[in-house]
Amino acid sequence: MSDEPTETADAAEDGGAVVERTRRRFPSWSRAVESEWFVVGATTVAVALFPWLFARAPVVSDLLNGYQDLASLILIWGIFAMGFNLLLGYTGLLSFGHAAFWGGAAYAAGLFSTQVSSSPLLIVAAGTVFAALLAWVLGFVALRRGGIYFAILTLAFGQMMYYMALSPLSGITNGENGYTDVEVGQLFGSFHLRYPVPGLDWLLGTWQYVFVGAITVLCVALAYRVLNSPYGMVFRAIRENEQRAEFVGLNVWRYKLMAFIISGSLAGVAGSLFTIHGSYVPLESLYWTTSGEVVIMAVLGGVGSLFGPILGAGLYLYVENITSGIRELTVPLTDVVLLDGFGAYWHLILGLVFVAVIVLFPRGIWGLFRDVAAGIRRLGGGRR
């Protein structure tokens, strides 16, 4: 009897072992893309290229009509929307009062800059700590109820803070005029945030964008680490079935409180950066419409995704700042005016865009990108 089948089987086993060792040594593209280092690196590259593409690239900038300050503002609101999405998209908790953390941190950062230190890093730290503590207090109360009751409680707390800043605390907040005494010093005592970056001003613009971009990358890294940790798995479990999570012995309320605190802290980072960006804190930063705006941003970009809310923030702010400035809509290649005062209808345009995305792409802009990428891989013979 021949030993050839046995030798063939042994060779196949050896070959399989070699392939497995090769796979472990050289991970697949899908694994590499999902690794933390790749995500952080790709985010860093995207943040570095964004202001150039948006405001100064020869062809793209002419089409987008973007400008440097708007690029910074998009990143700031992107952090806010990303933090909100951690609560809504990953934990399943809808908050209508996130303006309390955004605006509260903005006021705390402004007051800290005047009374204690004008260091940008310390300003952001002060606003973030205030937002985290506020989120712990409000979450301790609001999370005693769920569903619509939780949403209404967060809305009520947010409006309470708005009216406190408007009247009882107007001696500190300057009431309806907003806080105007913000003082922003030099970064590390050497770099004035409004000055251009020497040699890289064509790419990065000012030191303020570098500062905002670096914090954006850190926030993305933090969010990615949290969402891919056991905590992130529990957040998803709570979103899918809260009762089942309780049955397996998880302290659901504690995890929801932690999600609320992390979300509020990211909102605090964004609110502090907003104060530094504008050197001013408007009273409207605490109003309920600010909470509504971040909900729209998250849904536009795609809840349940890390980068979707940042894209949603970019689209929202683009329509608000660029489209609203268009005076008239004309027929291409002609001088025929279709609509005079086109920019005044930017709310209507945003509403139409929002409806179109919800109806056609329920998973948002990021979901659309993922579907297109999956379709391209299938056409190319790759795996999903």
Q: Judge whether 65 and 211 are in contact, CB under 8 Å.
A: no
User: 113: pLDDT confidence band, cut at 50, 70 and 90?
Assistant: very high
Q: What is the pLDDT of residue 348?
A: 87
Q: Does domain 34-287 have CATH number 1.10.3470?
A: yes
Q: What does the domain layout of the chain look like in residue ranges? A: 34-287
* Whether the predicted pLDDT of 260 surpasses 80: yes
Dist. CA 71–CA 75, nearest whole Å = 7
Average pLDDT, the chain: 86
pLDDT for 297 beyond 90: yes
User: Model-level pTM?
Assistant: 0.88
Mind listing the pLDDT tens digit for each residue in 176-229?
999 998 999 998 888 898 889 898 888 888 999 999 999 999 999 999 999 999
For 148-168, write each residue's pLDDT tens digit.
999 999 999 999 999 999 989
- Which residues are CB-neighbours of 13 under 8 A, at least 6 positions away? none
Task: Compute the distance between CA of residue 89 and CA of residue 223 in angstroms, rounded to an integer.
Answer: 13
* Percent of the chain topping pLDDT 70: 86
| Confidence bin at 328 (pLDDT 50/70/90) | low
Give the dihedral of Cα atoms 58, 63, 69, 72; nearest 10 deg.
Answer: -90
Using DSSP's 3-state secondary structure scheme, residue 43 falls into: helix
- Quick one: pLDDT at residue 27? 53
